[in-house]
Chains A and B, each alone.
Chain A
Amino acid sequence: MRFDRNRIADVTFGASALVTGLAVAAIFGFLFLFALPVFTGGQGLSILSGVWNPGRGQFGILPMLAASLCVALSALALGWPLALGLCCGIRGFLPRPIGRLLLMLLRGMTAFPTVVYGFAAIFLLVPIMREGLGRGSGLSWATAGLVLSLVILPTMALVMDAGMRQTERRLRLTGAALGFTREQTMTHLVLPACRKNLLAAAALGFGRAIGDTLIPLMLAGNAPQWPSAAWDSIRTLTAHIGLVLATDSNSAAYGSVFVAGCLLLLVNVTVQLCLRSLLRTGETA
């Protein structure tokens, strides 16, 4: 009897593991399956061309891919240094109580819903961007990039912090022995030792930024053009899926949605592989 229960337990857990694995396979499988007819059904690689104009029969989603990359990279460019700054502040540069407050703030930010960020930004940031930049309608690459950096900041900061906490504890004595101040220990010992963690945080932030839907949908204007200036209205792949899912189900516009989904999945896989290779070296089982 005792033996059986252990087996049942093993089987149950194995089954849940199998279900999870199958779910992931199903997601990838279905999306690639539905994207396939786009390439085999005569439309071919034109879906990856550079103009989106359904009225003229052009269904290129490359501008959307470019827009996704631009928004994600700009959010990363602003968010990563801020996250690094916050972490260093928490781990030594700032007085203890302020550091603790900042940590609480970071944890709270992870629960802030993205739709609420978008809502607040529409009414606060968009008018400021419009008047401040003097051009464009306020719904632009810059607006979306700014808010997106706030959205990805807590994830990146918490990953950096987790790594820094261990390293800082380990290297504190070393720094003291070398006569470093706390700040110098941070800058010259801890940060270089945590390099892998910092890069992993960047990869994670990038993945999160490129996968976000609501901020670009609400704040970037959704014009299907190539991003050329920060005040341009652009459409990311994610916003494209959200907008286009409304049109006729057999036309090429619909097929472009599945191709966009596959592109996003490919980006996700790449990011995960990068993370794996970054965090594997130096890991002790």
Chain B
Amino acid sequence: MSRPATYFVRTAVWGAALIVPLALAALTGVLVTRGAGALDANLFFGGVPALQAMTGRVPVWDGIWPACAGTLSLLGLTMLLALGPGIGCGIYLATSTASRAKAVLGFAVDLLAGIPSIVMGLFGFTMLLMLRRTIAPNAGASLLLAACCLALLVLPVLVSTTRAALESLPRQLHLTGAAMGLGKWQTLRHILLPSSARGILGGILLAAGRAAEDTAVIMLTGAVANAGLPAGIFSRFEALPFTIFYRSSQYRDALELEQGFATTLVLLVLSLSLLAGASKLQRTLEQRWQGIRDDD
């Protein structure tokens, strides 16, 4: 009949089911076996006592604590910059009725989502050059510039998850608001946003995960190999992904290499926990509205 077609698909299925987990296990295995040995306080603080290192009284030069602090500050600043425009844009796309504007904006967001991260970093670099030539001659590569570029990078994630969360709510909720005589903003504030809050939070975590792991953008806009703890938003900083990239090609001895592996494990744990949080939130959102939606 069409045995070959089914046969082909079956080969693909079994091939994939074997190759992909195997490849992933091999890669993770390399990281764990060569890096787990270095996961200790020395990795983070490089011989400096923990409390002094964390408060910045003694600079840490051989540990990844400054990079961790840098990544966390970068995350915080990026989300601060991206939340407003991202969620606002998502709400606009989900609730507006101007279909022409919606189509154009939707296309713009898709374009933004597809821009390679190094092009985004290049854009940040050109912005820096433009600023230096015009209004801010002392501007330099900094935490603020990197955060702005990362915010642009994660904007599409926020927009699409907010939009999806709002659109996945049953239509009855929109009608409930209108039936009670509430205006658009009040419907949003009292009914729609609280109901979809979990989905939006999930989107925020996804965006944070994306921002935490990106290297190409920060490489061009302010991350350096050694800078100590971040000293304000106008200074250069260290970040975990950049430290990993740097270590991969320039380790000076076996210990530094082992620590490089351990750093990848740290970043992996960070990304996976952000993702786990996001999917838990999104799943509870789905479950909440499952019953009502199926009735539709």
Contact = CB atoms under 8 A, between A and B. Distances in A.
Contact of B13 (A17, A89, A109, A269): A89
Interface stretch (B39-47, B50-58, B59-67, B184-192): B184-192
A17 B92 contact: yes
A186 B92 contact: no
Contacts of A249: 129
Nearest to B9: A187
A119 B264 contact: yes
Contact of B6 (A122, A183, A276): A183
Interface string A115-126: 111111111100
Contacts of B275: 107-108, 110-111
A119 B271 CA distance: 16
A188 interface: yes
Interface string A89-128: 1000110001000100101111111111111111110000
Contact of A20 (B96, B109, B130, B185): B109
Contact of A82 (B19, B96, B118, B247): B19
Contact of A268 (B89, B115, B267): B115
B11 to A, nearest CB: 8
Interface string A195-225: 0000000000001001111100010000000
A27 B183 contact: no
A116 B268 contact: yes
B113 to A, nearest CB: 9
Contacts of A63: none
B245 A214 contact: yes
B31 A111 contact: no
A54 interface: no
Interface residues of A, number: 86
B254 interface: no
A258 interface: yes
Contacts of A89: 13-14, 16-17
Interface string B219-237: 1100000000000000000
Given A6-B183, A20-B105, A112-B271, A150 B220 contact: no
A261 B249 CA distance: 25
B13 A118 contact: no
A118 B30 contact: no
A242 B219 contact: yes
Contacts of B159: 20
B49 interface: no
Interface string B107-124: 111111011111110110
Given A24-B108, A113-B271, A17 B93 contact: yes
Most buried by B among A27, A31, A107, A112: A27
B179 to A, nearest CB: 16
Interface string B245-263: 1011100000000001100
A10 B95 CA distance: 10
Most buried by A among B96, B114, B268: B114
A27 B34 contact: no
Given A112-B268, A188-B5, 16 more contacts: A16-B85, A17-B101, A20-B89, A20-B105, A31-B119, A31-B123, A85-B15, A86-B20, A89-B14, A98-B17, A105-B21, A113-B241, A115-B244, A119-B245, A184-B6, A271-B114
What 7 A-B pairs have minimum CB-CB distances, sorted nearest first?
A: A16-B88, A211-B116, A85-B16, A113-B213, A85-B12, A9-B185, A111-B275
